[in-house]
Amino acid sequence: MTSPVELSVRVNGASHQRSVEPRLLLSDFLRHELNLTGTHVGCEHGVCGACTILMDGEAVRSCLIFAVQADGHELTTVEGLAAGDDALHPLQTAFREAHGLQCGFCTPGFLMTLIPFLRDNPTPSDREIREGISGNLCRCTGYQNIVQAVRLAAERMAPEATP
């Protein structure tokens, strides 16, 4: 075993200092050290996308990153998406209204993939949406309602309705 390494990260706006084994995966760090269990682990080899979080605003797979690699970075997990206890992010609301989730296990990964996707492309076509989520696996929904939810969210999140 290698000796622990100091780690300092901001997650959902809060700072955390921990001493961790270098081999500890970021997904395990978030789930088991910080108890942020909304980030799910579906394959641990970077295919399913369930563990997707934001690192400095970009979507990354937390199962493919060691916790120590997040040192000094700003992370956002699904728990940090909604503004407050009662509020939902417009993307979350759209997922609910369009029935974009069934068992909900893959859902946090989809949401976190879609945050930078919609930031970079606020008015995506269906094809672009499908490509945008093609790195996330869902076994329940057959994806159609997720596409629908993204479309709905994009409409609502657009700064001004585009002509």
> Rule CB under 8 A: which residues touch other proteins?
1, 21, 23-24, 28, 31-32, 35-45, 47-48, 50, 77-79, 81-82, 88, 92, 95-97, 99, 101-108, 111, 129-131, 133-147
The residue (of 59 and 161) whose beta carbon lies closer to other proteins is 59
- Torsion 91-58-60-134 (CA) sign: positive
The residue (of 111 and 115) whose beta carbon lies closer to other proteins is 111
Shortest spacing between CB 87 and other proteins, in angstroms: 10
Shortest spacing between CB 134 and other proteins, in angstroms: 5
Shortest spacing between CB 159 and other proteins, in angstroms: 23
Shortest spacing between CB 69 and other proteins, in angstroms: 17
The residue (of 122 and 135) whose beta carbon lies closer to other proteins is 135
Angle at 149 between CA 145 and CA 153, to 5 degrees: 170
The residue (of 96 and 119) whose beta carbon lies closer to other proteins is 96
DSSP 54: E
The residue (of 72 and 126) whose beta carbon lies closer to other proteins is 126
Q: In Å, how far from its chain's centre is CA 126?
A: 20
Q: In Å, how far from its chain's centre is CA 66?
A: 17
Residue 20, beta-bridge partner list: 5
- Torsion 97-99-100-105 (CA) sign: positive
Shortest spacing between CB 129 and other proteins, in angstroms: 8
Burial class, 163, CB count within 10 angstroms (exposed 0-12 / middle 13-18 / buried 19+): exposed
